[in-house]
Chains A and B, each alone.
Chain A
Amino acid sequence: MTFLGMPTLSGEPFPTAARAALGDAQLRRNLAKATGTIRAKRARVVEELPDWAGLRAAGAAIKDATLADLDTHLLAFEADLVARGTTVHWARDGAEAARIVTDLVAATGTREVIKVKSMAGAEIGLNDAFDAAGIAPIETDLAELIVQLGHDRPSHILVPAIHRSRAEIRDLFRREMPGVAPDLTDEPAALAEAARRFLRHKFTTVDVAISGANFAVADTGSLVVVESEGNGRMCLTLPRTLISVVGIEKLVPTWSDLEVFLQLLPRSSTGERMNPYTSVWTGPTEGQTAHVVLVDNGRTATLADTVGRAALRCIRCSACLNSCPVYARTGGHAYGSVYPGPIGAVLSPQLTGVAHNRTLPYASSLCGVCQDVCPVAIDIPSILVHLRGKVVEDHAPVAEAAAMRALAWAMADAGRWRRLLRAGRLGRALGRRRDRIGSLPPPLSAWTGTRDAPRPPRQTFRDWWESR
C-alpha cells in the first residue's frame, strides 16, 4: 500500500524517532527558525488585546461547559442539521468514520475527491481508506499537497511541510505534479503559482469535497472552517457534494460563543489578527448535497477521565508546538502521531488508550510554557504527569522498576550500601575516555541510551571521610 502521508495516532516510540531527528542539524535549524518566527508574531498580536486573559478564561469555560453536557449539544446540533437538509452520520471509531466517508464518495460514482486540510480526516486515516477503495484524494492545502506529493508525513499542525526546503519542494513538484513546467524555480511564489494552476482544474472539475470543521455551533447548526489560502472556500463551494468530518468535541453551544474563539484562534495560531478566510455555512448551500460525520474515536474515553478531559478543549492552534523546546528540537515526525507536540503528547495517548502510546506522555520536559500559551488554558504538564501515572499503572517499565527495587534493597542497610559504593569504583573502567559513561549493555542501556552517566569517583565520600 502506498503511504499517502498520514500517520495514524500511534507510531514508532518517541525516543527512537526523536534520536534520528536530533541528529539532523538542518531540521533543527529550520524548526528553530520557524517556531521562533511564529512565536514572535503570536506574542505581538496577543499583546494587542488588553482582554486576552478574559478571552482565554471564557474559551476554557465554554469548552468545559460544552463537554459537561456534550450529548445535549450534539443532539441539538444534529436536529438543526437534519432540519436544514444535511444528512448526519455517527462513527464510533476511525475505521467506521473512514468507511462511512468512502461509501458516500463511492455512491456518487466519483473516483476523485478534493480535500480541505483537516486534522480529523488525518486522524481517521481517510487517505489510506480512499486508496484502498480506489478513490484518489487530492490535498488542496499547499503544505498538505507538498506532503502528499512527497509520500511524506505532516510535521506540524499549522505548517505541515515546515521540514521541507524550497529546493526539495521544487524537485518534488517537477517530479510529481502533472503538467508542471520543467524549468520551475524554487521561488515560493513560483511554487505557489504551480500549485494554483494544478489545483484550479481540480476545484472546477471534481464533484466531491471532504472538509473538517474548526467549530460546530449547536444552536444554529452552523459549521465553520478557518483557513488562509482560499482552497477551503473552493472545496466548500464548487463541488456538488460536501462531506464534513467533525470530531464531537468541536461543538460550541451558541453562535455568540464564536466571538471568543474567532479572536483566540487566529492570534494563537498564525499570529495574525484574523486569518484571511473564514467560511460559515448552515445546511446545504447553493444547491449542494451535505453530509456531516460525527466522530468519537476515543473522545468519549477521554471525556471519562476527569483530568485528561481538558485536552478536548483543544482548538488545534499549534501555539504549544511553537513554544515547546522539545518540539523545536525533534520536529513533529518524532511524535509518530497525527497530533504532534505537547498537545499530541496528551491527546494521542488518550484517544488510543495509553497502552498503545506509552512513550508520548514522556515526550516533554514539563517546563510549562505550552500551558502559558494555550488559548484555552489546557494544563498540559499536569495531564502529562497524570498520564505517566497511568502508563506505570498499566505496565511498569520492567528494567527501571527492577533497578529501583535493587537500589532500595541496597540503601536499606548501611554496610550493604558502603560495600556497593566501593564496588561502584569498578565502574571507572567504563568511562575512561571522557569521564562519562556513554552506553551500557542491556538492561542498563534503558537508562544510558538517553543519558550520559558520570564516571564514578576514585574514592567514595565515606572512605574519604573515614581516612581524614
Chain B
Amino acid sequence: MNARDEILRRIAAALGDRRPTPPVPRAYRRATGEPGDVDLFADRVRDYGARVRVVSADAIAAAVATALHDRNARDVVAAPGIPAGWAPTADRSTVDTQRLGAVDGVITACRVAIAATGTIVLDHDAPDQGVRALTLLPDYHLVVVRRDRIVADVPDAVAALAGVRTQTWISGPSATSDIELERVEGVHGPRTLEVIVAR
C-alpha cells in the first residue's frame, strides 16, 4: 500500500464510527464591516517601533517626499501601480534582486490594515504592492495606508483577504529576541518601516 492510502486507512481506523462534531462556538468578535479607527491603527504601528505620519488624503505626495528627504533616500523603487504623483522619480520597473538589495528604499500601498494590531497586509497580485521580493530586500519600506483600507480587527482582515493568493502580513520592522531576549530590530528584510496614513 502506498503511503497516501496507508495514512488515509490509519485515519479511518483511528476515527472509527464517526459522530457529527458539535458546531464551532463563534462567541468572539467577528467581522463587522465597520471601518477601523485611524488613530488606534497609528498608535499600534508606533508600538512596534515603526515611524508613522498621519496626513490628509490630499497630502500623500508631500508626505512621501518629506519621508524620503528625511531618510535621505534617493535611489528608490516603487511598486508599479503606485501613482506617479506620489513619487515622481522612483523606479517602477525593478525586480532584480541584486539591485533591490542595493537601493535606498521601496514604496508600496497595502490591501488591508488592521487597527487593533497595527498590521499591514500586502496583496502580491496587486500592482500597487508588487511582488514579494520588492519589500523583502531593501532596508527601508515606506507604506501608504489609505483610510478605506483600515479595518477594525483580524476577522475583518481575514474576510477582506479571502481569495488573495499571496499575502504578507507586516507588523513593525523585522525583529529578533533570540539573544538573551533582547529585542533587536532588523535581522532581515526592512530594518526601517515607515507608514504614511492618509485620513
Contact = CB atoms under 8 A, between A and B. Distances in A.
A196 B176 CA distance: 11
B189 A143 contact: no
Interface stretch (B71-79, B80-88, B159-167): B159-167
Interface string A68-87: 11110011000000000000
Nearest to A273: B117
Interface string B159-198: 1011011111111111111111110101111100000000
A280 B28 CA distance: 24
A181 interface: no
A277 B27 contact: no
B177 to A, nearest CB: 7
Contacts of B44: 273
A260 B30 CA distance: 9
Interface stretch (A50-58, A353-361, A383-391, A413-421): A50-58
Contact of B187 (A38, A192, A280): A192
B158 A258 contact: yes
A90 B4 CA distance: 5
A71 B1 CA distance: 17
Given A64-B21, A90-B7, A256 B188 contact: no
B97 interface: yes
Interface stretch (B8-16, B60-68, B142-150): B8-16
B35 interface: no
Nearest to A145: B178
B105 interface: no
A233 B168 contact: yes
A262 interface: yes
Contact of A230 (B22, B118, B184, B188): B188
Choose among B3, B114, B172 the residue with the greatest number of A CB atoms under 10 Å from its CB: B3
Contacts of A237: 132-133, 136
A234 interface: yes
A61 B26 CA distance: 10
A51 B174 contact: no
Given A68-B21, A91-B3, A276-B170, A37 B181 contact: yes
A138 B64 CA distance: 38
Interface stretch (A101-109, A122-130, A161-169): A161-169
A43 interface: no
Interface residues of B, number: 73
Interface in A273-297: 273-283, 285-286, 294, 296
Given A74-B8, A92-B7, A142-B187, A61 B24 contact: yes
Given A57-B27, A276-B173, A255 B162 contact: yes
Nearest to B173: A276
B22 to A, nearest CB: 7
A326 interface: no
A100 B103 CA distance: 39
A230 B27 contact: no
B181 A33 contact: yes
A334 interface: no
Nearest to A61: B24
B132 A286 contact: yes
B194 to A, nearest CB: 15
B180 A165 contact: yes
A54 B25 contact: yes
Given A51-B28, A159-B178, A273 B97 contact: no
A199 interface: yes
Interface string B24-62: 111111110000000000001001100000000000000
B18 interface: yes
A189 interface: yes
Interface string B125-156: 00000011100100000000000000000110
5 contacts: A238-B133, A263-B154, A282-B165, A300-B11, A303-B10
Given A238-B133, A276-B175, 14 more contacts: A69-B15, A69-B18, A161-B178, A165-B180, A189-B184, A231-B187, A231-B188, A233-B189, A237-B132, A259-B158, A272-B171, A276-B48, A277-B170, A280-B164
Interface of A: 30, 33-34, 37-38, 50-51, 53-55, 57-58, 61-62, 64-65, 68-71, 74-75, 89-92, 96, 140-143, 146, 159-162, 164-166, 169, 188-189, 191-192, 195-196, 199-200, 203-204, 222, 228-231, 233-234, 236-238, 248, 255-256, 258-260, 262-263, 270, 272-283, 285-286, 294, 296, 300-301, 303-304
The 4 closest A-B pairs by CB, nearest first: A230-B189, A54-B28, A304-B14, A300-B10
